[in-house]
Structure 1
């Protein structure tokens, strides 16, 4: 069983003990008397489901004024304690400060705005406890008992995708309105992916386009694209960083919102109706949320949420669906400023095409590999052999054969 989980989640740290959970339960249940009888800890997710934190599931049996033998299931997220690439990369980051602020302040603010128009959309799981000292941690209500689960080794189908992009559209629209009305807390979120230490110089991140170029040179029908990809390698990460920081530039152009920042299917949990159809999706993991171009999340989702069939046959439909709901939500909120047009989003997608090329060349092969089983992200970040093997995946090559001609015809490779 240990092979199915991240090695740093096989054993909980010593401070996650009975006295710690008594403190947690006293705060979240607002009572002065709690006695924890038993604590059972286990990994919260499977290997490959996340990277930028360590997560445990705690089954806490306790007595309180409400009764004896009570049971509460908690999800505990904390910083890496095991030395290695993950700990080095995240030690100086702002991910916990960002996520605590998102859950404790921003998400409740967003939901309050939606409640004003009778929209009962829930944007995040309930936070029960958070702390930065002596240990950085956030504790959530476990939503698995509420019927939510991950997709388990499959990408989202059309129904799943539309629910995810609908929730994103509402999220983005509320943040767009608040920022336009002068709420500076939106623009205070500045620490996205490119704020993480050495992110853009990591061999895995920086070398993806080079690996794809090398693969194209060996496939007859892709050889024509190799020179164009080769020419983009020098500036790709610089261009992606500029896209993330567009709002901070002089006279920025585009539609700007508070982005989720890591909008992929592993950061979503889906709830099914009794007959199997998806009825809700819960977004999780707001560690790298930042204020920037709305389409950065949209493009991310086109590669990291939807399956290959949806991307091939419903690509523009998904974008249109997101844009329509973004604009409709603003109208319902009685937004008084200038409403973006759907064409504005498509223009922004072309403007930030380097981000799409990065996703296609670097993260999509990872997602294709995850469809075949779990993956050790620590090894992925440090093993050149493992990274090279991603580009031999037949499923990835099939997708590249469809994506590169599309990008070429749209001018993405100019």
Structure 2
């Protein structure tokens, strides 16, 4: 993604647009329930904490409504809409993230679910989309509020334990298998699903240089054995960009899926049985979906969303769990081509190991930050004293240091840091 700090606004969620009003939601409610009469009260509130959403405006809309039979009811929706140009939307909107997500909710996700429904299997991947509107180049998506069905996220600071990981990996395999069948039936995914947005001007970027300088300074405090060995492995700007470009996946013989593209715990919602076991799983946020090796989603999930004591020691086990269920799903869906071998998947994880490093360097840093109203990607990437202070805080955060003492040697042993 181009290195441009203007797209990030820590307080954007609190700036509720004037068009978010009762009149707008009357058409949504009428479409959902013919017994709807009128809205008694409407309250929009932020759906994400400050600093945790950089590409869209997300609101939870709470309503008291009256039905034609006189009964009253409470309703709740999640609304996701584009940032205004003067709030950082110009660049973000140029990346076509919303048209991609619109297509996912309108067409592709229902079709992926239909592959299983046709075989008598009630599998859902996403919240129900109640309304999509494109008006004056603005796209707005209205979704069911999964909180009303007792779906929730896990604690991102802790990560998934093994029972959770098994279920999430199997759900990911179901999603990936259906995406392969979509490709078989409908042909290539649209161009936006084939592209990667590479970092721009990293060689001249003061932001990247500042991050590297802060990172290496923090590494000295971690207590790494052979600190110099690891410090020399941290890629410079040119190496970083070249490694990112190496993840372009053009080999026609390689097994590919539609990656979620932003696959970590806050985009995975779960509800539970009365005994506390995982019941259902839904994925949210489909703006970064990309056709390519499943290694992309697997690296991000394992690096960013697994309990620290399991991440490395169970790494190969996680790949096997995913692979076993992937093959099962492909058989169920009557996939006729040779499926990938487990060894193929491991080779792919090595080949695209840059995803393991890049998500560690950027995403994991913020995920493991305890709640902090000042935490944002903007502060992580901005040069200068304020950025330096935040980076020192982030890179020396004990939760992040603990993770890095496992992850960095693991990536080194596998040759992933040979930039």
* TM-score for the superposition, normalised by structure 2: 0.86
Instruction: Tell which deviates more after alignment, 385-394 or 97-106.
Output: 385-394
Instruction: Tell which deviates more after alignment, 60-69 or 193-202.
Output: 193-202
Whole-angstrom distance in 1 between the partners of 2:244 and 2:120: 38
Aligned match of 2:347: 347
Whole-angstrom distance in 2 between the partners of 1:220 and 1:335: 47
SS at match of 2:16: coil
How many angstroms does 1:17 deviate by?
A: 1.0
SS at match of 1:104: helix
How many angstroms does 1:10 deviate by?
A: 2.1
Q: Does the aligned pair in 2 maintain the 1:206–1:237 contact within 8 Å?
A: no
SS at match of 2:193: coil
How many angstroms does 1:318 deviate by?
A: 1.0
**2:11 equivalent to 1:10:** no
Aligned match of 1:46: 49
How many angstroms does 1:275 deviate by?
A: 2.7
Whole-angstrom distance in 1 between the partners of 2:199 and 2:408: 29
Aligned match of 2:153: 150
Residue 60 to residue 20, structure 1, CA distance change in 2 (3 Å): same
Residue 378 to residue 60, structure 1, CA distance change in 2 (3 Å): farther
* TM-score for the superposition, normalised by structure 1: 0.87
1:42-121 to 2 correspondences below 5 Å: 42-65=45-68, 67-81=70-84, 83-84=86-87, 86-121=88-123
Aligned match of 1:226: 230
Question: How many pairs does the alignment contain?
Answer: 403
SS at match of 2:340: coil
Which of 216, 227, 244 matches 2:219? 216
Aligned match of 1:22: 26
1:11-410 to 2 correspondences below 5 Å: 11-29=15-33, 31=34, 34-65=37-68, 67-81=70-84, 83-84=86-87, 86-134=88-136, 135-153=138-156, 154-179=158-183, 181-184=184-187, 186-190=189-193, 194=197, 211-217=214-220, 219=223, 221-226=225-230, 228-230=232-234, 233-243=237-247, 245-247=248-250, 251-252=251-252, 254-370=254-370, 375-382=375-382, 384-385=387-388, 386-410=390-414
* Structure 2 residues without counterparts, runs of 5 or longer: 1-8
Bigger fraction of residues in helix? 1
Whole-angstrom distance in 1 between the partners of 2:210 and 2:165: 29
How many angstroms does 1:156 deviate by?
A: 1.7
Instruction: Tell which deviates more after alignment, 378-387 or 351-360.
Output: 378-387
Residue 220 to residue 290, structure 1, CA distance change in 2 (3 Å): closer
Residues 140-173 of structure 1: per-residue CA shift (max 9 Å, x gap): 0111111101224432222222222111111111
How many angstroms does 1:368 deviate by?
A: 1.9
Residues 354-409 of structure 1: per-residue CA shift (max 9 Å, x gap): 22111222222222214788833444444522234311122222222222222222
Whole-angstrom distance in 1 between the partners of 2:400 and 2:173: 29
Instruction: Tell which deviates more after alignment, 368-377 or 255-264.
Output: 368-377
For the aligned residues, what is the CA RMSD? 2.9
* Structure 1 residues without counterparts, runs of 5 or longer: none
Residue 170 to residue 199, structure 1, CA distance change in 2 (3 Å): farther
